[in-house]
Structure 1
Amino acid sequence: MEGGAAVIGFANWEDRPVLAKLWQVCFEEERRYANFFFNNAFCPENCLIYRVGGQPAAMLHLLPASMVCGGKAVRIHYVFACATAPEHRSHGYMSALLAYAALVGAQREEQFSAILPANPSLYAYYAKSGYQTFFERDEYLLRAEQLREQAAEVEGRKYLPAEVLNRIRNTLLQNWEGAVLWDDRAFWFASEDNRAYGGRLVCTHGPAYAICRYAGEGLCEVTELMCTTEHLPKLFGAMLQEMPASNYRIRASQGKRTVGDGRAFLPFCAGTCVLWNAPAVRRRFYGSIASWRKKAISWPWERLKSIADERGVIK
């Protein structure tokens, strides 16, 4: 094997600085973004590494989650931050990691694997590892004037803790077949990660919330919106106040589908509101077939831990 012996296995705490560098190189981001993940969401038992000559050549992370299937929540993992060092690409390392991840999922009695490719060019790549297109979403582009027509006046900014917002999320999605559910720590990380990239979590009475970020001049992208119809005017008012923009692009689930025959529907954002008279652009996302039905040894997840508190902070 080129560059020395190749080994696939779980990460160690000591790998964080090297993995953060790998993240920075592969995703072409500032080091602070990688450090935020590795200081707040990294778990060695959920990170697979392909080592060549003892050094990490590729990595992926298996974030624990649940999915509503048949009226109850089942265990899944979400594949996150797949990265291969440029000098080690085109050797099949990532494909090997994905295959190993499937074995880990089977041992942990997880029923599905989900992944959102970073760009359309990766769809065919992940299909080679058994991932199938199963989710479509609509994107509604609304002018600020359209939101203003439906918005209610709000006073000041409202703050709600992650556990409260995650509770309303789980309540809205608990009967939505195929919905992905996160624990409170994972929800906190997602909202704070959005903030690290310049976004904002907009909250209002209900409770209700919208995870927003600027995606270009005059454009606010709402990546997740959780709200009942009765509280939507207040939420729109808060969005206009806290994230002023000329246009708002809001993601919404493209209808419901049932889980069965190895296919799944994952609404990563959803709500009970109905958006009106706005152009919609449909997008595709990926998830794997449910190929791990047989019983296996259960490896229970540990709760995501704050490394800053327990293992120190990487810099």
Structure 2
Amino acid sequence: METIGLMSEQPMCQNPLALQQLKRIWRECFEADDGYLDAYFSIGYRPEQTLVFQDDDTILGMLTLLPCQYRGIHQGKVRLYKAAYLFAVGTLPQAQGRQIASKLLGAADDVLKKQGVELALLAPAEPSLYHFYQKRGYESFFTRRELFFEPKGRAEHLDTRTLSLKPVSLSEYYPKHINLIPQESILWDEQTLCFAERESILYGGGLYVLMDGQNELCICNIYRYKEEEVIVKELLLQQGVSEQQAIEALRDLFLQCRVTIRLTGTDKENRVPSGMIRFYGPKEDMPENTQMAYLPFLLD
């Protein structure tokens, strides 16, 4: 018999075999390795935030609901909306074709409405999925820019000795992050941010302040899946610092690496979609869709 519900409400919730079934979905759908699974299930996983699709006692699909807030513009004023981020929507390959993802999305709507959530958001894993989610009530809402650089090979400046990446803890990073993000932005809870920090470290990076001597240029969240590749999932500039200044400094610090840098969508050119929302409230309460909203660095 097919059933859909939160993991916390299932009789099998405390059964270790159920956890193994969830991990199987992560491995087969998202190619998660053991290190990632250990990090997620020790920090990020919560049964009350995990929707599962079961056929008898076998979990065939899952969807995660992460609480957050959206700080948006409504009628010319800043307003906070209770929100949830839909993460890790997955169906086992052998169960494809049974519309399990669509059924999970419908169940997520019901759960979130009962919880008083005003909007759901998600980041499609690939461009082709935007149409899939659009048919289910979502609209493009968040944007970003993404720049790609080949290895520099050598520094263009004669002296880069003053440049450094200063590792910082989440407790040090977070106040800077909140101060520097655009006005229209997602605000994450502590649990999600703790997992994001762990994920960055797991993949060879972490949270940093980019320094030039004693001066802070920016904060950044860096991943290094490969030694020769640097991905800056978040870069937020201190006042008075130009993008070009921060970008060149990072490239000088990673001369032999390909560098990918994600930037906020405040520049109206060269923006690409980075996320969608589904609004549950009255149309007159919906936040303004400026296509400038920022979905911070994590969980894509």
* TM interval, short-chain normalised: 0.7 to 0.9
2:279 corresponds to? 290
2:129 corresponds to? 122
Among candidates 266, 277, 299, match of residue 255 of structure 1:
266
1:78 corresponds to? 85
Amino acid at match of 1:87: Q
Among candidates 121, 130, 141, match of residue 134 of structure 1:
141
Query: 1:36 deviation in Å?
Result: 1.6
Residues 101/150 of structure 1: CA separation in 2 closer, same or farther (3 Å cut): farther
Deviations 1:60-108 (A, max 9, x none): 1011111102313221111111110111111111101111111111112
Deviations 1:171-219 (A, max 9, x none): 223x612x01112332221122122233333324649421122467854
Q: Is structure 2 residue 198 aligned with structure 1 residue 192?
A: yes
Amino acid at match of 2:39: F
Query: 1:289 deviation in Å?
Result: 3.0
Is the 2:43–2:194 Cα contact (8 Å) retained in structure 1? no
Residues 215/130 of structure 1: CA separation in 2 closer, same or farther (3 Å cut): same
Is the 1:152–1:236 Cα contact (8 Å) retained in structure 2? no
Q: How does 1:208-219 map to 2 (within 5 A)?
A: 208-214=218-224, 218-219=228-229
**How many Å separate the matches in 2 of 1:151 and 1:187?**
36
2:25 aligned counterpart, secondary structure: helix
Amino acid at match of 2:103: A
Work out the number of aligned pairs and report it. Answer: 265
**How many Å separate the matches in 2 of 1:293 and 1:28?**
39
Q: Is structure 2 residue 191 aligned with structure 1 residue 180?
A: no
1:9 corresponds to? 5
Query: 1:251 deviation in Å?
Result: 1.2
**How many Å separate the matches in 2 of 1:168 and 1:48?**
33
2:292 corresponds to? none
Amino acid at match of 1:288: I
Structure 1, unpaired ranges of 5+: 258-279, 295-315
Query: 1:40 deviation in Å?
Result: 1.0
Amino acid at match of 2:63: L
Is the 1:211–1:224 Cα contact (8 Å) retained in structure 2? yes
Is the 1:203–1:238 Cα contact (8 Å) retained in structure 2? no
Give me the identity figure in percent. Answer: 23
Residues 95/123 of structure 1: CA separation in 2 closer, same or farther (3 Å cut): same
**How many Å separate the matches in 2 of 1:105 and 1:189?**
22
**How many Å separate the matches in 2 of 1:145 and 1:176?**
37
Is the 2:21–2:59 Cα contact (8 Å) retained in structure 1? yes
Residues 180/62 of structure 1: CA separation in 2 closer, same or farther (3 Å cut): same
Among candidates 38, 49, 54, match of residue 51 of structure 1:
54
Is the 2:164–2:210 Cα contact (8 Å) retained in structure 1? no
**How many Å separate the matches in 2 of 1:16 and 1:132?**
33
1:313 corresponds to? none
Residues 65/203 of structure 1: CA separation in 2 closer, same or farther (3 Å cut): same
Higher strand proportion (structure 1 or 2): 2
Amino acid at match of 1:6: E
**How many Å separate the matches in 2 of 1:113 and 1:245?**
40
